[in-house]
Chains A and B, each alone.
Chain A
């Protein structure tokens, strides 16, 4: 042992402090990781030492390493040790480390409850402060529940420094333990009028945060806040209040009118931009002011101006639209954040009238944009803008299709699939546009090499997927299907991604069917035979494809075509039958349709259909599954014969496949008129391949021309309308005609160029109407939606710390009752209160949680409805003969309590410390008065000579109850019960030191047995730790050693063993009487459960 101490000292000679560590890391830039791992080893050694200064230093270094990204969770217990140091210097470091390293799943947090409670009630305000700060970072639901009442008490602390912190941390407590909101709310409200501005602003902060989430519960506070708003000059507070009103006004329209005046005053008078911004945000009337912000050269203000504008847009779109010029200007800004904001705004600003113009502008930006991310963003925005609310603003779909085609020229975009799905969606749902779309897509297919030439531009070739599908599905609209078919069968196609090839192959078959159909009427069958030959020549390329999907479809279709060729040679008419392959209507399905299908009665989706597989089986199932999956594809027989049955089967399979294809979920073909002749499409352009300009898809009509066309069309319409109106007017002979003449056309006047029939998506029958699936069930604020105006029920009171002794030992409450000759009523009340507490406790134990509210060492007393008082007895570690009793007085009546005097009858052993010069029987004046409903805490110091025996002290509290007209003198007798446990202080101890202590032979031993203890061992240990201030030294299975120390330095060692329901405790202590009493108290604790 001696050697160890010496060794420890030598180590400490080389101890690094934080500065050395930081310097070391900076000097080891090359091998930082190695250096730090040696440092961590050193720290581990340091943490093994008993010296708290060394430990604190080590923990401080660990906190730094944690920031650098090293895992320090292994040191959590050491952090707790440093936290529980009595020296502020170390405590501060401990709490800092805890707040940085602890999170909800850190298990040692539950050990800290008692320590934090002790620090919260420390006489030193900085101890309390540091504990509150730490707690704000790592508060868990358990901590919140156990400490809510302590923190609530601190809200009325005498020092504003503590009040302020306590008020703020209450918000975190509410989030973790929503039940505390109602009991704590009256006091929180009270703090809105605290004399200290810091506390006031903290209370405003907390209520504002609460109200923002659930405004309706806070409407009743509006008058109070209104007063604060007009009187406060603190910008920080004003901002919060205005934010709060912003949340309240939608619920109470009258509020809006009242607010206008003070808000306009603020807007005109304030010099703080942040406040101005908040006001503007709330009022949403001052678009002009916003223009000033946006035009400002300061980028920050510009950004915020745009942001506020987008909020106004939601409610007053008209007022924002007049600033379109400004917003379009912002698109040219060099800052991406600002451009993105402006884009967002544009999204909301479009109308039927200006859509084309805005998109044209955006297309220009697409060309100019450097950097693919911004360009991609632009692309998605264009598509979003156009497709919003079911293509509401698009009047000319030909224009839209050409925009989409233009977008395919973008180099290296990731959003090929987005364009593709838009193309599909539009072509499927807008029947009138199909002819045009098919023509465009055919051109695209013909020029496919331009899109695929570069492997980097892979994203865009997704478009071909859509093009191929549209051309195939609506092939009746094609002018020259043979040419398209040829384009789709080019060898180059084989370089495309597999899923696109698959679509190609499938759709050649559809095209083939159309061609047969159109040519069979003709006299000579040569052209159709040529087409068949083309198919037979080209398809083998796809049969060899490495992609299974392509291979499968190609081989299937190849066989089909071969069969058709045979029939053609026999001059059999096949076209009708082939077309029948692709007949049938597939309707679009709404995205949420699957979710809305009601579950049929009696269907349990969670039930196993077969016996659940056993553990061992599932393990070797894995490889088997892979094997079986592959097998059918490899062994699939090549089709040699095709009969009707087979075809039907395939059709079924095809439908199945399409159903599984993600593109079909959103959009599937609505109808297909198979026996229709392909109508002539007028302006299919003549294709020319101009390889020198590879980025342009040549021959396509540019979207710009539509803008012009559209303009002309509208003008014409307007002119016609005017004519009609004039006629009408003439008939009516109205004189005041000029008013109607010009002026901008309104939204409704614009008629779409095409009679657009947008097919709506299908929903399943008897779909559930609910649309609540957007709400996040995990939102922590949801739990705080609590009605605050309801009166508080007894059951809602916060768990007040009450001592186990209050029930089992001769309870001080009972003492107080017995001695208090008060009216009958009070007795009833107090016993009821007690019962409730007991119930509360039972509930908590049931929940399997042991560290609960019932911790405090001592008495709970209640007088004749005037005063409620709780007190806590703690030994003072610094002075072995001192015990501090903290008493919380709470005024329960509606009168004012004053001149409280606390007096205790001294015994030989224990004496109340009185100020110098006062006699041995004088009482101590409680240094405050209590208005109704208020509580406050006072501390009294007792000098104790011997701590080996429990003590009972009799005392009285006298006070004056002051009403408006009278005042009466009241007296309350009570008993203070100093148990031996209250002299013990939780002290951590290491196993080697513990072993040494036991070996020393100075200790007397004693033991007890507890029968019928029915709880898990770790609960049992936690209970002893918690109620009797022990710490666990070592635990091996069902055996543990524990340690604690008295304020006078007695060591108390326990060895706890459990078997079945019997617990045996062997204890050693250098003071046998103390040991006996502590063991008795432990026995009492367990006899209660």
Chain B
């Protein structure tokens, strides 16, 4: 497979994965051209088209088009199956996936794709194994984030006139707490206040 594109019915690109090195300009040109061609096709038409010296295999799921470019000798039906498998994986991971899931968690969508395909070839044909790998990697991330949550990072103190302002940051939720205190008292009081707020 040479590349995979996901785009919406409005022609907005949602995901792109290139397995051949191309310049940004070239990529943009190809994307524009393909999005136009695919969107112009009617729903009843077949999923394959020839384009330059490649074959394009696409399929529409709800409002999203999944579009792959394969070489001349590759099997179109298996490519359709790859697309379908990827959709199934997204579905399992997000729980009935929708376009917004992919927009807001686009890095996750990439991680899943990377576990499923590597360098344009299917690397894992078992759905279970792909999801297991993703879950474990996520778990690793989670553990790290929880650890930093426990530390309740103390960001900084601003001294302004006679008031201390202290910021506390909780990484996971990106929440920031601020507390102010009179200068006469120590900024540790502000920190204490923050900690109690956080817990």
Contact = CB atoms under 8 A, between A and B. Distances in A.
Interface stretch (B90-98, B115-123, B183-191): B115-123
Interface stretch (A10-18, A699-707, A784-792, A888-896): A10-18
Contacts of B36: none
Contacts of A273: 77
A172 B156 contact: no
B198 interface: no
Interface string B54-79: 00000000000000000001011110
Contact of B13 (A17, A68, A103, A164): A68
A300 B47 contact: yes
A129 B133 CA distance: 10
A9 B155 contact: yes
B125 A92 contact: no
A6 B75 contact: no
Contacts of A60: 107
Nearest to B78: A274
A138 B21 contact: yes
Contacts of A955: none
A809 interface: no
Nearest to B85: A236
Interface string A868-897: 000000000000000000000000000000
A315 interface: no
B147 to A, nearest CB: 10
Interface in A949-1007: none
Given A303-B46, A304-B76, A136 B107 contact: no
Contact of B21 (A18, A103, A206): A103
Nearest to B76: A304
A88 B75 contact: no
Interface in A1-44: 5-6, 8-10, 12-13, 15, 17-19, 22
B8 to A, nearest CB: 12
A239 B78 contact: yes
B149 interface: no
B141 interface: yes
Contacts of B49: 337
Contacts of A335: 42, 44-46
A205 B77 contact: no
Contact of B118 (A103, A169, A278, A302): A169
B44 A277 contact: no
Given A93-B107, A299-B46, A277 B119 contact: no
Interface string B104-135: 10110011001100110111111001000100
Interface string B2-17: 0000000000011111
Interface string A283-318: 000000000000000011011100000000000000
Nearest to B156: A9
A53 interface: yes
A378 interface: no
Interface in A55-69: 60, 63-64, 67-69
Interface residues of A, number: 76
Nearest to B132: A161
Contact of B140 (A88, A137, A243, A278): A88
A613 B21 CA distance: 39
A315 to B, nearest CB: 16
Contacts of B47: 299-300
B145 interface: yes
A202 B121 contact: yes
B197 interface: no
Contact of A209 (B42, B114, B121): B121
Contact of B123 (A202, A278, A302): A202
A550 to B, nearest CB: 39
B33 to A, nearest CB: 14
A87 to B, nearest CB: 6
Given A69-B28, A89-B145, A234-B125, A274 B77 contact: yes
A6 B156 contact: yes
A879 B18 CA distance: 38
B110 A96 contact: yes
Given A92-B141, A273-B77, A299-B46, A5 B156 contact: yes
B45 A336 contact: yes
A104 B80 contact: no
Contact of B107 (A5, A18, A69, A278): A18
Contacts of A124: 140
Contacts of A197: 125-126
B103 to A, nearest CB: 6
Contact of A236 (B28, B122, B178): B122
Given A22-B104, A53-B171, A87 B144 contact: yes
A198 B118 CA distance: 12
A304 B70 CA distance: 14
A15 B46 CA distance: 46
Contacts of A103: 21-24
Interface in B143-160: 144-145, 155-158
A830 B171 CA distance: 54
B159 to A, nearest CB: 9
Contacts of B129: 198
Contacts of B30: none
A327 interface: no
A337 B24 CA distance: 29
A133 interface: yes
Given A96-B111, A133-B114, A303 B121 contact: no
A952 B181 CA distance: 56
Contacts of A92: 107, 111, 137, 141
Contacts of B80: 274, 300
A192 to B, nearest CB: 15
A168 interface: yes
B199 interface: no
B166 to A, nearest CB: 10
Nearest to B121: A205
Contact of B106 (A9, A67, A239, A303): A67
Contact of A132 (B111, B118, B124, B167): B118
A337 B77 contact: no
A243 B141 contact: no
Contacts of B23: 103, 105
Interface in A512-527: none
Nearest to B47: A300
Task: Indicate the member of B77, B141, B167 with the most A CB atoms within 10 Å.
Answer: B77
A10 B121 CA distance: 46
Contacts of B136: 126
Interface string B160-190: 0000000101010010101000000000000
A338 interface: yes
Contacts of B178: 13
A605 B174 CA distance: 69
A17 B174 contact: yes
Interface string A510-544: 00000000000000000000000000000000000
Contact of B144 (A13, A67, A88, A171): A88
B48 interface: yes
Contacts of B73: 212, 243
B104 A19 contact: yes
B77 A169 contact: no
A338 B171 contact: no
Contacts of A73: 24
Given A88-B144, A126-B137, A168 B48 contact: no
B156 A126 contact: no
B158 A6 contact: yes
Contact of A165 (B46, B118, B158): B118
Contacts of A257: none
B121 A171 contact: yes
10 contacts: A5-B156, A63-B106, A92-B107, A103-B21, A137-B18, A202-B121, A206-B121, A299-B44, A335-B44, A336-B45
Complex A-B, nearest 4 residue pairs according to Cβ-Cβ distance, in ascending order: A274-B77, A299-B46, A136-B119, A9-B156
Given A17-B174, A22-B103, 4 more contacts: A6-B157, A197-B126, A304-B48, A304-B76
